Structure formats: structure tokens, C-alpha cells
Structure 1
Amino acid sequence: MAVTQQLARIPAGYLAACRQSADASPDGDPRWDPPAYDVLDLDWAPALLNRVGEVGGLGEVHLDALRRATDGDAALDLGFLDTPPHAIAPFGGAPTGLDAAQVSSVSTLLGQIDMPVLLAALPADERAAASLIGQVGGITGGLRPYLLEHFDALRDFYVDAAERHLLVVLWWD
């Protein structure tokens, strides 16, 4: 099984309930199980998307928003989600997250990024483009469609989270 980045959009109350469950459980079980429609699997796209932003000349404010959208922040106390045997990120670093205000800011800035323009800044040759952004091996369906699909999914995920005033939790699984 490949390790991929996961994101979940959740209400603050759900996070509080998970923290309370972890505190009350003898083995620290937070009962973490966000609904499938509120979880996004970004596959291996985060580093590639960030690299496309760098190579394409994305401004620092927007590049930082893209990084926060895929890296999260340490502002939320998520240590209880990283406690064995119920750790949600057994194969990656500790889970990170963004609060509702951060989600709203990131959503706005992601909406201002023109990913097709950034992708057009890559070399026309697919292998050269992949090499420039650090992609090893081919991607079924092509590099540009893969990146555009994952960026669009990320942007739409954050737009919905912002509209619903939700937090976003990120982890690698």
C-alpha cells in the first residue's frame, strides 16, 4: 500500500469529541472516523504541486498558501491523533491542521491561483517537466492532467471547508 496524503474537513466540535474520547479511552482511541465525503486523498501530488508553484513563479503569498494547504500548521493540538495504537498517521509525520480562519484564508488564495498557467511554464517535453519538478517515473494519463486534477480537488475541498467553517486535518497514510 502506498503512503499518500489525506485531508479531512471537520467541525471543531468533532475534533473536541475525538480528543475527549482519546482522554477517556484506556488505550487512547479517539474514535477518529470522519465521513468519506469529507476526506480527500491527494496521493503523492502535494510536493509536485508545490514545486510547480515554485518553478512557475507563483508569488510568495500564494506559494505559502499552497504549502499550508498541503502541509498544514502546528497551531491545532493534534497529539492525541498521533498516539499508538490508534495513530492516524502511522507511516508519516504527526498530523497537522488548519483552524477555520486559516482554512478561509487558504481557500481564498488557492482560488486565485491559475494552475493551467503554472503548468504551461513547465517544459513542453513531459520527461523534462517531470524531472524539473522531481517526479520519478511516469504518471498514467500524463503529468499535467494529474496535477490539474489534484489541484482542482484541493482547491474545491478548501472552498467547501471554508464555506462550512470547518477545520482541516492533514496526515500521511
Structure 2
Amino acid sequence: MGWAIWGLIHYCRSTNAAPKLIALLDRAVSGDPDGNVGFLDHDEVYDGFCDPPRMLAPAAVADIAAALDRVQLGKLLADMPASTEVAATACGFGAGFDADAREHLTEHFAAMREFYRTAARHTQCVVTWVD
């Protein structure tokens, strides 16, 4: 998913978006706290950088996929600043980010939504962790 979804979460927090939306996005990239996948919690996979790997069961994946389908991203990003620098700051992107923030967030959100749709369609689990 890249780091863009954390930028979307940052933007949502900075614009006081609905807490349920923020929780949804966070869950999609961070998993459920009780979804620890102990067999992946070792140095070759998990280096301690962030939370250990977590698993989302098929029912959770289906819930997330359905909720992501209801997100109206265009409305959410409608008031994003036009200035590249100001928009990047609103997303928490560091200095030197010179892309179109709206396009960047849209592309990565669409990829995440499609990922969850596909996983839900196949009744799959999803393992999340920051690598």
C-alpha cells in the first residue's frame, strides 16, 4: 500500500473527518489488536519498527471492504489545498514531496480498496504490518 494511506489518515485527522472513517483506514493498514500473528513475530520478518504483524479474519476483511466501498473519497478530498506544498503538509508528507497529493492519495486508496475487495471475494485473511 505504500505510505500514502497514513497520509490520508493524517489529512482526515487534520480536517476533523468522521472518527469512524479514521478508524476504518487505521484498521485497514494496522489490523486488529487481537489479530496477532505470532509465527511472523521474529527478526527475519518483524524488526520491531512498529506494531507486530496482525491478522484480519475473513469476516473483518469483508467488513473493511464493504466500508471502503462506501467512502466518498472525492468529497473527502474536495477541500484539499491546491498548493502542492500546503497539500503535502496537510497530509503529513515531508519536505520535498512534489507530486499531486490528491492524485497520490486517490491512487493508493483505490489500490487498497481493490485489494480488500479481492481478498473479501476470495474469503481470505489479511496480514498487516509495517515493513
- Report if aligned partners of 1:74, 1:96 keep a CA contact under 8 Å in 2: yes
Provide structure 2 residue ranges, at least 5 long, that are not aligned to the other structure: none
In the other structure, the counterpart of 2:35 is: 76
Tell me the amino acid that sits aligned with residue 122 of structure 2.
Answer: R
TM norm structure 1:
0.67
Contact between 1:56 and 1:121, CA under 8 Å: does it hold in 2?
no
Any idea what the Cα deviations from partners look like across 1:92-148, whole Å, max 9, x if unmatched?
Answer: 221122111111111111111111222222222121121122111244542111111
The residue number in structure 2 matching 1:133 is: 91
Largest Rg, 1 or 2: 1
**% identity of equivalent residues:** 32
Scaled by the length of structure 2, what TM-score is found?
0.86
Task: For 1:81 and 1:101, locate their aligned partners in 2 and report how far apart those are by CA, in whole Å.
Answer: 21
Question: 1: CA distance between counterparts of 2:59 and 2:17?
Answer: 23
- Are 1:62 and 2:30 matched, yes or no? no
Aligned to 1:110: 68
Deviations 1:43-65 (A, max 9, x none): 21131011233345532223211
1:106 aligned partner, one-letter code: I
**Comparing both structures, which one devotes a greater share of its residues to strand?**
1
Call closer, same or farther: CA 1:113–1:56 in 2, change over 3 Å: farther
CA contact (8 A) 1:91 1:172 kept: no
Structure 1 residue 90 and structure 2 residue 42: aligned?
no
Tell me the SS of whatever aligns to 1:154.
helix
Judged with a 3 Å threshold, the aligned counterparts in structure 2 of structure 1 residues 47 and 53 are, in CA distance, closer, same or farther, namely same
Give the AA of the match of 1:92: F
Matched pairs, number? 130
Give 1:91 deviation, angstroms: 5.7
Distance in 2, matches of 1:81 and 1:118, equals 35
Indicate whether 1:157 and 2:115 are aligned.
Answer: yes
1:152-171 CA-to-partner distances (Å, cap 9, x unmatched) read: 00011001111111111011
RMSD after superposition: 1.8
